[in-house]
Amino acid sequence: MEREDLLLIPGPTMIPPEVRAALAAPPIGHRSPQFADMIAEITKGLKKVFQTEGDAFVLTSSGTGGMEASLVNTLSPGDKVLVATTGVFGDRWVQMSEAFGLEVEKVRFEPGQAADPEKVESILKKSPGTKAVLLTQNETSTGITNPIQALAEVARRHGAAVIVDATSGLAAIDLKTDAWGLDVVVGGSQKAFMLPPGLAFLSVSERAWEMHRSAKLPRFYWDFSKMKASLEKGQTPFTPNVCLFSGLRASLRRILEEGLENVFRRHAKVAALARKRVKALGLELFADEAHASNTVTALKAPAGVDVSEMNRFIQDRYGILLAGGQGDLKGKIFRIAHLGCISERDIFAVSEALENYLAGNRG
Ligand SMILES: *Cc1c(COP(=O)(O)O)cnc(C)c1O
């Protein structure tokens, strides 16, 4: 018998009914007037979500492709970048920058802590000529949200562009692309956009366009100029995943109908309930609570509990999928994600499941 689990993992997330219906529509031609109408509506909606008057593009790729596009379009080999890393996804910026031959400076913060703008500033002072600061809005691996506005301010004060991986926070946690001076912001479909994996989103500022004109990293598939030229014709440079575009239009309608501010408030409320319920069970937050994420709650593995065994039991018995730890945190933490259309009802369900498991009701 097929069963549908409740996905409380940080992607893929649950898909609401009207988005599923849109995803099931027959594919349309990507050079058709229908597609042109669809991409026009999507672009307008995405700009609202990014809170930008700049450009917004949709890529057929997972979020990491969007991260790669942000680098190859703005930087040249040997350019100096600073990565403020707070976990697995900050480390991905480091690995990617190294792979592309950038000169990478990194500042690592303790897992569970947010990046400290003062520390970042002290490094920038010693590193004149840093071209870009690479940030993670919401560090999915540890459950913290970084102070992007303050970090961006520091970067700009030192003449560096600001590139933000906002994959697990965009459309869930406030991020003001223009007001905070963010040059490229990256999002992904399978997080708060309530879609299957397969699309990445990018915002591009005026300054990022200036950098683009002289950027020398090799690029072909991910090229802002090609994307812009195609978008003016209501198209994408290469064949896009038209079914996901149709789903994206539905998800953007849902998000904008609810209102961005309401979406942020709802995520904050659900996250606060999650933290309250798990603490009441005696579980300990892994993240510094002052920076605890509104999309993913990371918890220390309770003494004597094998979290991978626990997660397997909770999935088998209750049909609720939780996430373990990534990288060095494997076995040490587990994570409850609450982004997209997760509601308080789902938090009650998972806290009841955890309570039963921790009370030893494992038969
Ligand atoms: C999910 C995620 C990504 C993208 O991962 P993909 O597997 O490429 O979609 C990037 N950054 C963060 C913070 C994420 O949570």
Report the C-alpha gap between 358 and 363 in whole angstroms: 12
Domain annotation covers residue 283: yes
Mean of per-residue pLDDT scores for the chain: 97
Domain annotation covers residue 1: no
Return the closest-CA partner of residue 49 out of 215, 233, 248: 248
CB 191 within 8 A of CB 293: no
Domain annotation covers residue 222: yes
- In the block, tokens 């683009």 appear at 212
Determine if ligand 1 sits within 6 Å of the CB of residue 188.
yes
Res. 91: pLDDT tops 80? yes
Return the closest-CA partner of residue 21 out of 256, 187, 251: 251
Strands 333-337 and 144-145: unpaired
Domain annotation covers residue 278: yes
Q: Which residues contact 200 (CB under 8 A, 6 or more apart)?
A: 58, 59, 61, 62, 63, 64, 65, 66, 69, 167, 186, 187, 188, 189
Q: Cα(first)–Cα(last) distance of the chain, in Å? A: 21
79/223 same-domain check? yes
CA of 167 to the centre of ligand 1 (A): 6
Domain annotation covers residue 63: yes
CB 289 within 8 A of CB 143: no
Domain annotation covers residue 75: yes
Pick from 257, 273, 293: which residue ends a domain? 257
CA of 290 to the centre of ligand 1 (A): 23
Determine if ligand 1 sits within 6 Å of the CB of residue 293.
no
CATH of the domain at 267: 3.90.1150.10
327-352 average pLDDT score: 97
Largest CA distance in the chain: 63
- In the block, tokens 């409850």 appear at 336
H helices within the chain, ranges in order?
Answer: 17-23, 33-50, 63-72, 88-99, 117-126, 148-157, 206-214, 224-232, 242-258, 260-280, 307-318, 344-358
Determine if ligand 1 sits within 6 Å of the CB of residue 168.
yes
DSSP state of 164: E
CATH of the domain at 83: 3.40.640.10
Determine if ligand 1 sits within 6 Å of the CB of residue 10.
yes
Res. 37: pLDDT tops 90? yes
Determine if ligand 1 sits within 6 Å of the CB of residue 137.
no
267/242 same-domain check? no
Tokens representing 292 are: 């605890």
Determine if ligand 1 sits within 6 Å of the CB of residue 73.
no
69-81 average pLDDT score: 98
Give the residue whose CA is nearest to atom 4 of ligand 1: 63
* Residue pLDDT, tens place only, 124-158: 999 999 999 999 999 999 999 999 999 999 999 99
Res. 232: pLDDT tops 90? yes
CB 164 within 8 A of CB 135: yes
233/153 same-domain check? yes
221-236 average pLDDT score: 98
Q: State the residue range of the domain holding 269.
A: 6-12+259-358
Domain annotation covers residue 167: yes
Determine if ligand 1 sits within 6 Å of the CB of residue 89.
yes
CA of 201 to the centre of ligand 1 (A): 12
Determine if ligand 1 sits within 6 Å of the CB of residue 295.
no
237/282 same-domain check? no
Domain count for the chain: 2
DSSP state of 302: P
232-254 average pLDDT score: 98
Res. 212: pLDDT tops 70? yes
Please tell me whether residue 234 adopts helix, strand or coil conformation: coil
- In the block, tokens 């892994």 appear at 286
165/54 same-domain check? yes
Please tell me whether residue 60 adopts helix, strand or coil conformation: strand
168/252 same-domain check? yes
211-217 average pLDDT score: 98
* Residue pLDDT, tens place only, 275-331: 999 999 999 999 999 999 999 999 999 999 999 999 999 999 999 999 999 999 999
199/309 same-domain check? no
203-214 average pLDDT score: 98
pLDDT, position 180? 98
Pick from 238, 257, 276: which residue ends a domain? 257
pLDDT, position 362? 82
342/238 same-domain check? no
CA of 196 to the centre of ligand 1 (A): 13
142/228 same-domain check? yes
Return the closest-CA partner of residue 356 out of 297, 325, 322, 314: 314
71/48 same-domain check? yes
Count CA atoms closer than 13 A to 206's CA, side-chain side.
Answer: 3
Domain annotation covers residue 307: yes
pLDDT, position 363? 72
Res. 45: pLDDT tops 80? yes
- pLDDT-derived band of residue 2, with 50, 70 and 90 as boundaries? confident
40/168 same-domain check? yes
Determine if ligand 1 sits within 6 Å of the CB of residue 236.
no
pLDDT, position 1? 64
pLDDT, position 139? 98
170-177 average pLDDT score: 98
124/271 same-domain check? no
Pick from 257, 281, 316: which residue ends a domain? 257
CA of 362 to the centre of ligand 1 (A): 33
pLDDT, position 272? 98
Burial 315-328 (b: 16+ CB within 10 A, else e): eeebebbbbbbbee
Give the residue whose CA is nearest to atom 6 of ligand 1: 63
Return the closest-CA partner of residue 74 out of 183, 181, 178, 166: 183
